[in-house]
Amino acid sequence: MWAIRFKKLKHMSNSPIKFDLISNAKSSLEHAVEHLTSSDGFEDKDVKHCIKDIAHAVELFVKERIRRVHPAFVWQNVDHYPSSEGYKINSTTAIKRLEKIAGVILGEDERKTIEACKKLRDSIEHYEFELHTKEAKNIIGRMLAFIFGFTKKHLSLDLEQEFKKDDRWKNLLDVYEFWEAQSQLLEKQFESEGKPVRDCPGCGANTFLFESCECALCGHTEHEVQCQTCGDYVLESDAEIIHVDDSVEGYSGSEADIINCKECIKEMEKLGPADYL
């Protein structure tokens, strides 16, 4: 008589597994980021999993915003609510209801990005598909930027801060396509809010806020210092401490080291410190 053995998975309880819309979406998002930022590199097999997971996350986040108006609006036919057997809306219908019912109007670029990702996801799931890695990363980068912006603005979820608790945000910024999409999104936001920004000395994005002396994208912080020659205030990275020879009149002893902005240093190099100072 054959002996049959069953292996039990360790640490698995017998309680039901339950994901609400938010936790379900976050799970897919985290899985997508794992594929995108894998230490083994972004390979062909990662492309389809990443796109599927991100498309899934977007659809669920949008549905959650609609659900907050009323759960019935997540059903294709609201009369079938709350039956678990009723069909739920797809991303195309979700966008329409997002605008008509929740009053959330998406920009044209956002709509196009979501539709492009949906078509790719459908091709991956139901038929053969062809996509260059560069093109895939562009779409993925735009979708991720949409997710972080949408969830913060319309769901009061600060996913960025969650990702900053470990290396995931830093790893995402190493993906140029995401860095570009996210920085452009922030630039438009600050422009509409009238907030002055400059290029960040840390990551290079035009997202360094003067009012907080911090980059909204990478978190790089820097204080302002005063140039002791022209009197202007500049960031630390735009200034240098230079040593003025004791032979220069007025500069000796403790005053021999002064802070100069780069513009003043350029002028000094042209004229010589004795003439410029």
> What pLDDT shows up at residue 1?
46
Q: Which residues contact 170 (CB under 8 A, 6 or more apart)?
A: 218
Question: Which residue matches tokens 């997710």?
Answer: 147
For residue 257, the cross-strand partners are 243
Q: Are 185 and 191 in contact (CB under 8 A)?
A: no
In tens, the pLDDT along 196-225 reads: 999 999 999 999 998 899 999 999 999 888
> What pLDDT shows up at residue 250?
52
Q: For residue 240, give the H/E element and its range.
A: strand 239-243
> What pLDDT shows up at residue 209?
95
More confident residue, 59 or 16: 59
* Domains of the chain, residue spans: 21-174, 224-276
Q: Are 159 and 73 in contact (CB under 8 A)?
A: no
Distance CA 142, CA 181 (A): 5
Lowest mean pLDDT segment, chosen from 5-9, 73-77, 160-164, 165-169: 5-9
pLDDT bucket at 277, cuts 50 / 70 / 90: low
Across 24-28, average pLDDT: 96
pLDDT bucket at 119, cuts 50 / 70 / 90: confident
Q: Distance between the two ends of the chain, CA-based, in angstroms?
A: 100
More confident residue, 52 or 3: 52
In tens, the pLDDT along 239-276 reads: 888 776 655 555 455 456 788 888 888 887 777 655 55
> What pLDDT shows up at residue 89?
93
Q: Are 97 and 109 in contact (CB under 8 A)?
A: no
Res. 166: pLDDT tops 70: yes
Distance CA 204, CA 200 (A): 5
> What pLDDT shows up at residue 118?
86
Res. 42: pLDDT tops 90: no
More confident residue, 66 or 46: 66
Average pLDDT, the chain: 86
> What pLDDT shows up at residue 131?
79
Res. 2: pLDDT tops 80: no
Res. 157: pLDDT tops 90: yes
Res. 123: pLDDT tops 50: yes
